Amino acid sequence: MSNSALTVKDVSKRFGSIVAVDHVSFDLGQHELLVLVGPSGCGKSTLLRVLGGIHPADAGRIELAGAVVDDGRRSTPPEHRRIGLVFQDHALFPHLTVAGNVGFGIRDPNERPGRTAAMLDLVGLTGYEKRYPHELSGGERQRIALARALALRPALLLLDEPFASLDSNLRARIRDEVVDILRSTGTPAVFVTHDQQEALAIGDRIAIMHRGGIVQLDHPHTVFHHPADRFVASFMGDADFLTPADARRLAPLDWPDASGHHEFMVRPDDVQFTLADSSDVGESVAHVVGAEFRGSAWCYTLRLSSGAVVRAVRSHLEPVEIGALVVPSLKPDHRPVPIPRSAQQELPTTTVVGAAFG
């Protein structure tokens, strides 16, 4: 028996001249939740469909619990892969009751009633057996879709933007419920999302995709605080990039190569500042040139003496006027993160100068 729930080796998928998935490789551990995240068109949903057998791979190898299901020449159909699929639109059968939807794929008629009841209990919808999909809320429909997928005891669950159609408050609650259910059943899963915060919240590991490939795969903390390149840094959260000289204005650099081969990333949560006084002059002083209200905090844009800009988050209880002179620094135990210049990609950080309320 393989130690991996899923093994993907050098998998590629084309649609004509378009390379949708480009030489992707990774292993998924037993009981692990892996999140595929990236901008629209990066290949994450196509990769999920290749894993599920909806699209055959053009090259590479896919193993499910040690068994080959696609080798680039022969592809096992979805119904023979023991894979559960959950989509954004739920894909429930409108003419079937809740019980009919959940039990649809259970072939043994003797097992169907008990298994259906167990799945409805698992997702907290016991008593909904006779309702139809149009009588359910969006969150209830999503839980029924999950119950239907889990009823087949899948070796792997694939979820494609499963919460995208829900409003933000319901989305967070249903997301947490689904993750709890998957962990309680020990079901390994691959999520697709375009929401970076969602990826950070639910993934044991995160795979950031770009142009059909995986550019970084690691734990959420590592991906956020130690991105592999500028694209990952910018995509996974607010980020500003400084020259070594500007980075030194915020904190001492202990990076051995600060000669120009690297730039340095800081995030707004890393930066603090104090109001300047008459003793603060020269390169240590910055101007507040922009402010964005974020509810519990303000995000200020600071222009350094070099002309570079950096953002800093500060409590809403400590407002500062635009035009104020301040002395910025990094918070204790925070350091600028070196980013190799050779690995820079598009999606540079932009800063809006001015005041905004949102």
Tens digits of residue pLDDT in 243-273: 988 998 898 777 665 556 789 999 999 999 9
The C-alpha atoms of residue 17 and residue 31 are separated, in whole angstroms, by: 37
The whole-chain average pLDDT of the chain stands at: 89
Q: ∠ CA(238), CA(45), CA(267), 5° rounding?
A: 10
Are 244 and 217 within 8 A, CB to CB?
A: no
Q: ∠ CA(217), CA(29), CA(32), 5° rounding?
A: 80
Looking at residue 3, its pLDDT comes to: 81
Tell me whether strands 297-303 and 156-160 are parallel, antiparallel or unpaired: unpaired
Are 20 and 43 within 8 A, CB to CB?
A: yes
**Letter string b/e over residues 331-348, b meaning 16 or more CB atoms within 10 A of that residue's CB:** eeebbbbbbeeeeeeeee
Tens digits of residue pLDDT in 56-102: 999 999 999 889 999 999 999 998 999 999 987 778 999 999 999 99
Q: If you average pLDDT over residues 12-18, what whole number do you get?
A: 95
Are 289 and 301 within 8 A, CB to CB?
A: yes
- The helix (run of H) or strand (run of E) holding residue 173 is helix 168-185
pLDDT at 330 over 80: yes
pLDDT at 136 over 70: yes
Q: What is the DSSP letter of 178?
A: H
Looking at residue 257, its pLDDT comes to: 58
- Integer angstrom CA distances of residue 235 from 97, 308, 309, 347, 356: 41, 20, 19, 8, 22
pLDDT at 352 over 50: no
pLDDT at 357 over 50: no
Could you list the beta-strand ranges (E) of 294-342.
297-303, 309-315, 325-330, 337-340
Looking at residue 284, its pLDDT comes to: 86
Among positive and negative, which fits the CA dihedral 135, 140, 145, 147?
negative
- Integer angstrom CA distances of residue 294 from 15, 171, 315: 42, 20, 10
The C-alpha atoms of residue 90 and residue 160 are separated, in whole angstroms, by: 10
The C-alpha atoms of residue 316 and residue 103 are separated, in whole angstroms, by: 52
pLDDT at 348 over 60: no
Report the C-alpha dihedral over residues 129, 132, 135, 140, rounded to 10 degrees. Answer: 60
Q: If you average pLDDT over residues 183-188, what whole number do you get?
A: 92
pTM of the entire structure? 0.86
Q: If you average pLDDT over residues 128-148, what whole number do you get?
A: 92
Which residues on neighbouring strands pair with residue 6, listed in sequence order?
28, 64
Tens digits of residue pLDDT in 280-329: 767 789 999 999 999 999 999 999 999 999 999 999 999 999 999 999 99
Question: Which position has the token pair 């915060």?
Answer: 197
Looking at residue 89, its pLDDT comes to: 75
Looking at residue 2, its pLDDT comes to: 60
Tens digits of residue pLDDT in 277-292: 877 767 789 999 999 9
The C-alpha atoms of residue 82 and residue 156 are separated, in whole angstroms, by: 7
Tell me which residue of 116, 92, 134, 85 sits closest to 125, measured CA to CA: 116
At residue 342 the predicted structure's pLDDT band, cuts being 50, 70 and 90, is: low
- The helix (run of H) or strand (run of E) holding residue 24 is strand 18-29
Tens digits of residue pLDDT in 215-226: 999 999 999 999
Tell me which residue of 331, 351, 336, 312 sits closest to 242, measured CA to CA: 336
Relative orientation angle of helices 138-151 and 168-185, to the nearest 10 degrees? 20
DSSP string, 183-231: HHHT--EEEEES-HHHHHHH-SEEEEEETTEEEEEE-HHHHHHS-SSHH
Give the tokens for residue 303.
């222009």
Tens digits of residue pLDDT in 139-173: 899 889 999 999 989 999 999 988 887 787 888 88
Looking at residue 320, its pLDDT comes to: 95
